[in-house]
Structure 1
Amino acid sequence: MTYKTTYQAAQSVATTIEQHFAAQLSDARQASFQKLAPAPSATNIEKLIDTAFWASLQREEGHVIKISLALLPPEVTEQPVLFQQRLPLTASVLTKLAPGVERPGIHIGVWQENDELYIWGTTRTIPSLSFVVDVSEPGLLVIKHRRLDGFGKYANVAVLKGDQIKIVDEQSAALEDCPGFLTSLLGFRTPFTDIAANVLVQLAVSMRAHKRGGSLLVVPSDTENWEKSIIKPMLYSIAPSLTGLAQLVQHEDEEKAKGTWQEALKREVDAVAGLTAIDGATIISDNYNLLAFGAKIGRASGSKPVDEMIVTEPIVGNTEKQLHPAQNGGSRHLSVAQFVHDQRDALGLVASQDGRFTIFSWSPCKQMVHAHLIDSLLL
């Protein structure tokens, strides 16, 4: 019996995603990377997305479905949990399994035999460039893969929400004004080894996760000019600066040798990101010392109000816009845009309560603030 997909977006993106993974795997093999995932076919991509989508609309005992599906055979994983009997890949089966596999890091393993997909079990370890479908909320699917070096957040390839399709544009990484850690999020063909960029990515993910909204300012460590854009007194100024996160970054090799570095990094990242939920901006130096939180941003003396900025999203087909900051968000966005306009060697990260996430940086090419909308990369 021939499987027929009914979710139109699955049909629309399958070939594009197949080509993406084929290119990634080809580049990785040429670079002599080992232990790579098998290439997914457009047919299997379409089937998996279709089934995941209809499962996402189900509820199990009143709870929404949150699962991760990995398309790969069990023999390429480590210590998989194998079901004695294979299960059919259907929305109803995924719905029943969901409560036991919704914790982060657990993937439902899916593979094929005789042109049919089946569920073979679960795994916590998958090879690089494994095709993964993440069901984040009803009707929202994120197509992603494990990075070549296996470190950090998975790289997003596409985001599907109902009939809305967003294909991540990796060419955005070539922009001259692209901040370093945005380049790391987009740079699919390079390992994610830049620890400095990785820390900022983890901070962005953690800020978004607390769902309270927040602002994080990253300022140069060799100057105090940024204080000209902060209203005094700073009620929650830190003196001396807190160095927990900075120490982990500076002594990366030593901490990794202890075997608990990733856990320690997550703990320190979550501690800093948690402070962004407090009204006002959290401020860290570019070497990750915590300087203040709850800080009120003000326009620097002699500076003009920011009245226009560039807005882009690293999505295929997206076009650059020039907007007033107030058209892109509320007071938090406006104040951070003003800060970056006045302190052009700083970065501003803003999380909205609805999940939107923006990086503000200064564009030396356009001579104005550049707002990068990146929530599609953080899902």
Structure 2
Amino acid sequence: MPLTRDITYQAARAVAEQLETHFAQHIEQARQQDSQDLATEPDAQVIEAILDTAFWASLRHEEGHATRVSLAYLPPEQTKQPLLFEKPLPFTANILTKIAPGVERPGIHLGVWGDGDELYVWGTTRNIPSLCFVVDVSEPGLLVIKHRRLEGFGKFANVAVLKGDRVKVVDEGHSNVPDCPEFLTSLLGFTSPSAMNDSANVLIQLAVSMREHRRGGTLLVVPSTSTTWRESIMQPILYAVNPAFGGLAELMRQDEEKKSRNVWQTALRREVDSIAGLTAIDGATIINDDYDLLAFGTKIGRPVGNAPVEQVLLTEPIIGTEATIVRPSHLGGTRHLSAAQFVQDQHDTLALVASQDGRFTIFTWSKCEQIVQAHQIDALLL
């Protein structure tokens, strides 16, 4: 689509062709698999124009509030029950800033399409096709490029993150590295259907909810078949839960027919937010792998005779990055150090750590490398 506009946001130009290739390849792959309800792939010019306008809109404010909006590239014919403007609006930073306060709630997208020369905003929608090109204006200078997964299940798949002049393109091949955690693999599953109710996705939802409260926190996931993890928790546990609270666990045990209902999904979000909310309390929240809540506000301690954690293997699923050995202090403060120590002492556990600044790290034990792995995944959770 030839567009008549100047691009002044250089990061948009730098990443546009790479994003064009990504969407074209995945949409073609989905077509070959006879997938239905697929989006139209955007070309590099369209991508440049949308990112350029979105970036400059993100730096504007309306009545003291920064612009926050989700843009979806599709014609109204590719959605269901769209809200259509009588006259399409020009696709400009000023228009986005003016309209954003009314459409910034989660799940609402501004529909963007073109007439051959210019892009325009035709209305809003909550329904978009699989692999639809979406740009979230999350905060000033921060754009997240993502798409709806096949069949629409689970969190949207993040493709790239642009923060000012910094560009991070997600490395979907990262899931092939040894000892990659299951729910990190699920986050990186660009085109594979991902059920909202599977185990990996529940942890993803917990991670997203933890990050959203912006207070920082730690969630420890321990095996339901062992109590060895208690050796790494300082006694007495002030906020132990006895009997274990099974609100989330009970939901996960229900049959697949019930899990497909909206009422079940609403209940799941409520239980996820309840557990994630507890992580804002000083100390670690503990659940088992059946999703029973065991304790919150706990203090992690190193068992007598165990060595302190000296190194971790740091990874980030971003193209151009390599795994590196770093000291735990490189990742953050006490919260990160204690989580790394816990996983080093309890190999069959994992720790999810949210920082107040939005960074998010998963700590797991690598059987292959015999070291604690620290997976930085905040680029996948935005």
* TM-score, normalization by structure 1: 0.98
CA 1:258 to 1:110, structure 2 compared with 1: closer, same or farther past 3 Å?
closer
Sequence identity percentage: 63
Q: Measure the CA separation in 1 of the matches of 2:148 and 2:140.
A: 23
Conservation of the 8 A alpha-carbon contact between 2:111 and 2:123? yes
How far did 1:177 drift? 1.1
2:380 corresponds to 1:377: yes
CA 1:50 to 1:173, structure 2 compared with 1: closer, same or farther past 3 Å?
same
Moved more, 339-348 or 108-117: 108-117
CA 1:126 to 1:252, structure 2 compared with 1: closer, same or farther past 3 Å?
farther
How far did 1:256 drift? 2.8
Q: Deviations over 1:50-69 (max 9, x none)?
A: 00001111111111000000
Q: RMSD of aligned C-alpha atoms? A: 1.1
Q: Deviations over 1:128-179 (max 9, x none)?
A: 1110000000100000001112112111000001100000001101112110
Conservation of the 8 A alpha-carbon contact between 2:4 and 2:118? no
2:208 corresponds to 1:199: no
Which residue of the partner structure matches residue 44 of structure 2? Answer: 42
Instruction: Give the 3-state SS of the residue equivalent to 1:260 in structure 2.
Output: helix
How far did 1:257 drift? 4.9
Misfit runs of 4+, over 2 Å = 254-259
How far did 1:114 drift? 2.0
Which residue of the partner structure matches residue 140 of structure 2? Answer: 138
What residue ranges of structure 2 are gaps of 5+ in the alignment? none
* TM-score, normalization by structure 2: 0.97
Instruction: Give the 3-state SS of the residue equivalent to 2:95 in structure 1.
Output: helix
Partner AA of 1:305 in structure 2: P
Conservation of the 8 A alpha-carbon contact between 1:25 and 1:39? yes
How far did 1:302 drift? 2.3
Q: Measure the CA separation in 2 of the matches of 1:292 and 1:276.
A: 10
Q: Measure the CA separation in 1 of the matches of 2:15 and 2:97.
A: 24
Within-5 A mapping of 1:85-234: 85-193=87-195, 195-234=198-237
What residue ranges of structure 1 are gaps of 5+ in the alignment? none
Within-5 A mapping of 1:234-249: 234-249=237-252
Conservation of the 8 A alpha-carbon contact between 1:248 and 1:255? no
Q: Deviations over 1:18-70 (max 9, x none)?
A: 11111111121122210011111111011000000011111111110000000
2:363 corresponds to 1:360: yes
Within-5 A mapping of 1:267-286: 267-286=270-289
Q: Measure the CA separation in 2 of the matches of 1:134 and 1:179.
A: 26
2:310 corresponds to 1:307: yes
Within-5 A mapping of 1:319-338: 319-338=322-341
Partner AA of 2:232 in structure 1: S
2:297 corresponds to 1:291: no
How far did 1:252 drift? 4.7
2:261 corresponds to 1:251: no
The counterpart of 1:66, out of the listed 53, 65, 68, is 68
Partner AA of 2:350 in structure 1: L
Q: Measure the CA separation in 1 of the matches of 2:26 and 2:71.
A: 19
Conservation of the 8 A alpha-carbon contact between 2:149 and 2:191? no
Instruction: Give the 3-state SS of the residue equivalent to 2:300 in structure 1.
Output: coil
Which residue of the partner structure matches residue 16 of structure 1? Answer: 18
How far did 1:352 drift? 0.4
Partner AA of 1:372 in structure 2: H
Q: Deviations over 1:290-316 (max 9, x none)?
A: 111111100123211010110011100
Q: Measure the CA separation in 2 of the matches of 1:218 and 1:323.
A: 24
CA 1:173 to 1:292, structure 2 compared with 1: closer, same or farther past 3 Å?
same
Q: Measure the CA separation in 2 of the matches of 1:139 and 1:322.
A: 31
How far did 1:115 drift? 3.1
Q: Measure the CA separation in 1 of the matches of 2:75 and 2:261.
A: 32
Partner AA of 2:374 in structure 1: A
Q: Measure the CA separation in 2 of the matches of 1:258 and 1:166.
A: 36
Conservation of the 8 A alpha-carbon contact between 2:350 and 2:363? yes
Q: Measure the CA separation in 2 of the matches of 1:61 and 1:350.
A: 34
Conservation of the 8 A alpha-carbon contact between 1:228 and 1:301? no
Conservation of the 8 A alpha-carbon contact between 1:217 and 1:346? yes
How far did 1:122 drift? 0.4
How far did 1:187 drift? 1.6
How far did 1:320 drift? 1.4
